């Protein structure tokens, strides 16, 4: 494994206020938005900056995060923002793209206001969607599609949400 440092710099930040969500892209990166219009979803890679603490980067396992899951899980088997590198990924519905202002208005994203955005990628069904997927039995009852997730009782799925 290489010991070279990896440098990652934010390209913008999340704006999440009053039920409105967007990515504000820094001026230097706004030309990269050209051609994004017409995509209904984007993949947003963001940095979980509130949890970027040395001790939180050491978490490799967690006690039963999911109500129907195993008693202990490796962090790579979860979507927890506690990770060796607190990089998170969210598929987000695009409402509109304002090239001049550098704003991607989103229907929703599960990131906090001010969260650093590392990258944005268009959602391509040909490479981001898989026809035959298997998941463990404990989460097999979760919604199959993103659009159905809003109606699902997610609070009942997490141990700490009970």
Residue 145 counted as domain residue: no
Q: How many domains does the chain have?
A: 1
Q: What is the CATH number of the domain that holds 99?
A: 2.40.30.70
Strand-pair partners of 42: 92, 122
84: which 2 tokens?
């060796």
* Residues counted in the chain: 162
Residue 118: which domain range? 12-124
Cα separation, 104 vs 92, whole angstroms: 10
Residue 77 counted as domain residue: yes
Cα separation, 147 vs 59, whole angstroms: 31
| Each residue's pLDDT tens digit, 100-141 | 999 999 999 999 999 999 999 999 999 999 999 999 999 999
Residue 160 counted as domain residue: no
DSSP secondary structure, 72-107, as one string: EEEGGGS--S-SSS-EEEEEEEEEEEETTTTEEEES
Residue 73 counted as domain residue: yes
Residue 161 counted as domain residue: no
Helices (H), 2-153: 54-57, 125-128, 146-149
In this prediction the pTM is 0.91
Residue 42 counted as domain residue: yes
- Name the residue among 99, 97, 118 with its Cα closest to residue 37: 97
Give residue 3's pLDDT band: very low, low, confident or very high (50, 70, 90).
Answer: confident
| Each residue's pLDDT tens digit, 36-72 | 999 999 999 999 999 999 999 999 999 999 999 999 9
Residue 99 counted as domain residue: yes
Residue 93 counted as domain residue: yes
């Amino acid at each position: 494994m290489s010991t070279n440092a990896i440098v990652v710099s934010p390209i913008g930040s999340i704006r999440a206020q009053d039920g409105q969500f967007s990515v504000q892209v820094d001026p230097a990166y706004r030309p990269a938005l050209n051609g994004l219009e017409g995509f209904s979803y984007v993949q947003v890679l963001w940095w979980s900056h509130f949890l970027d603490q040395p001790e939180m980067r050491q978490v490799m396992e967690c006690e039963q995060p999911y109500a129907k899951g195993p008693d202990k899980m490796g962090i790579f088997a979860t979507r927890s923002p506690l990770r060796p590198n607190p990089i998170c990924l969210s598929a987000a519905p695009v409402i509109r793209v304002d090239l001049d202002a550098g704003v991607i208005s989103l229907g929703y994203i599960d990131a906090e206001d001010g969260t650093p955005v590392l990258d944005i990628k268009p959602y391509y069904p040909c490479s981001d969607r898989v026809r035959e997927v298997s998941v463990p039995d404990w989460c097999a009852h979760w919604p199959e599609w993103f659009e159905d997730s809003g109606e699902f009782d997610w609070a009942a799925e997490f141990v700490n949400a009970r």
